[in-house]
């Protein structure tokens, strides 16, 4: 009885061995192509990322939408005098009218050329000078009192001086923007160099690196975040100071548009100019933030 059982088991094993190569053979052309299985966590992860992106967009726009809704409703309900604060829809219509007839583009171009010229010159001048003053102590001791005098002198207080010396043309406006933007960039750059982690400096010196290499490999990368803080402050100041200068003496520019609209009692056009100034300021700041992230990509992100 046991011999019969052993023969049956042997026959079964031989049949399985014979069929195994056939099962393991290549698939025929008519066979269905196997589909790779979808990972279980992929779809929930994509849905989570989409949900977080939508939540971020809603969170960042809800306050602005609420402000615009209040702006539209308050004049219509008589909460404020619509003569001095017209509904937002009327301001939007006035903005579109200024855009279609070319006035808005003309004034915006004049303001952008002036502000970007002064801002660019300030960056090119203040960043190298700030690095030198922060790195070389004798130069800081020499220029320190002079810097304290000018940093505490408001740019708008010197506007009549710039107009008297340089006239009411483009030179005076670009110069006042250059003067106003120089100080936040310069002072933040000096602070950035002086606040570099001393441990990094000691480590670099222990490796017998020359001073130019320490400056290039340690000082410059560590200073970039604080330098960009000054650059962003200067970007906001450039728009502010230029608008004030254009209100005093100019025949084109967003500041001139706002001022002339007020004198002509074209209130919707005045608010349209103000909104354009704000939009340009926000866009310029976002551009600087993107550049900062590009140049500080080595930093470890913080926060949620």
Q: pLDDT per residue over 2-55, tens digit each?
A: 444 444 444 444 454 444 444 444 444 444 455 455 455 555 665 666 767 677
Q: At what angle do helices 103-135 and 88-100 cross, to 10 degrees?
A: 90
Residue 37: what pLDDT?
A: 55
pLDDT at 46: 58
Could you give the residue ranges of the DSSP H alpha helices within 101-169? Answer: 103-135, 137-151, 159-166
Best CA proximity match to 287, nearest among 220, 238, 218? 238
Per-residue pLDDT at 121 exceeds 90:
yes
Tell the residue number behind the tokens 């909104």, with chain if given. Answer: 275
Q: How far apart are CA 170 and CA 80, in angstroms?
A: 39
Q: What is the Cα Rg of the chain in Å?
A: 34
Are the CB atoms for 118 and 181 separated by under 8 Å? yes
Show the tokens assigned to 130: 């700030």
Tens-digit pLDDT profile for residues 283-299: 998 898 888 888 776 66
Long-range (24+ apart) CB contacts under 8 A made by 126-129 are 126/181, 126/182, 126/183, 126/185, 126/186, 126/189, 126/230, 127/185, 127/189, 127/227, 129/186, 129/189
Q: Which residue is associated with the tokens 């406006």?
A: 173
Enter the pTM of the model: 0.74
Per-residue pLDDT band at 300 (split at 50, 70, 90): low
Residue 100, pLDDT score: 92
From 12-26, 228-242, 262-276, the region with the lowest mean pLDDT: 12-26
What integer is the mean pLDDT of 237-264?
A: 86
Percent of the chain with pLDDT over 70: 81
Q: Alpha-carbon distance 53 to 155, whole Å?
A: 42
Highest mean pLDDT among 20-24, 83-87, 148-152, 246-250: 83-87
CA 278 to each of CA 205, 228, 240: distance values in angstroms, whole numbers, following the listed order:
47, 21, 10
Percent of the chain whose predicted confidence (pLDDT) is above 90: 26
Helix (H, G, I), strand (E, B) or coil at 5: helix
Nearest C-alpha neighbor of 180 from the set 248, 240, 110 = 240
Within 8 A by CB and 6+ apart from 115, the residues are 177, 238, 239, 242
What distance separates the 2 farthest-apart alpha carbons in the chain? 124
Q: What are phi and psi of 10, to 5 degrees?
A: -65, -40
Rounded to an integer, the average pLDDT of 99-118 is: 91
Over 90: is that where the pLDDT of 270 sits? yes
């Amino acid at each position: 009885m046991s011999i019969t059982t052993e023969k049956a088991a042997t026959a079964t094993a031989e049949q399985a061995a014979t069929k195994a190569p056939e099962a393991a053979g290549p698939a025929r052309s008519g066979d269905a192509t196997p589909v790779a299985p979808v990972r279980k966590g992929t779809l929930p992860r994509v849905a989570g990322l989409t949900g977080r992106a939508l939540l971020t967009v809603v969170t960042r726009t809800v306050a602005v939408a609420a402000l615009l809704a209040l702006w539209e409703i308050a004049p219509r309900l008589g909460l404020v005098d619509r003569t001095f604060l017209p509904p937002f829809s009327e301001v939007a219509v006035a903005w579109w009218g200024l855009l279609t007839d070319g006035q808005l583009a003309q004034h915006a171009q004049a303001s952008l050329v002036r502000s970007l010229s002064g801002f660019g010159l300030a960056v090119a001048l203040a960043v190298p000078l700030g690095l030198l003053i922060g790195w070389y102590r004798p130069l800081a001791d020499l220029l320190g009192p002079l810097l304290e005098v000018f940093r505490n002198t408001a740019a708008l207080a010197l506007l009549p001086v710039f107009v008297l010396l340089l006239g009411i043309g483009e030179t005076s406006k670009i110069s006042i923007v250059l003067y106003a933007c120089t100080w936040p960039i310069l002072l933040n750059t000096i602070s950035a160099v002086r606040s570099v982690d001393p441990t990094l400096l000691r480590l670099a010196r222990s490796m017998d690196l020359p001073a130019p290499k320490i400056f290039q490999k340690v000082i410059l990368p560590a200073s970039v975040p604080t330098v960009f803080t000054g650059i962003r402050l200067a970007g906001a100041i450039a728009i502010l100071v230029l608008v004030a200068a254009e209100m005093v003496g100019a025949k084109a520019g967003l500041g001139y548009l706002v001022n002339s609209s007020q004198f002509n009692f074209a209130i919707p056009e005045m608010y349209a100019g103000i909104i354009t100034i704000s939009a340009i300021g926000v866009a310029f700041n976002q551009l600087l933030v993107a550049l900062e992230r590009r140049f500080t990509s080595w930093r470890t992100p913080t926060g949620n």
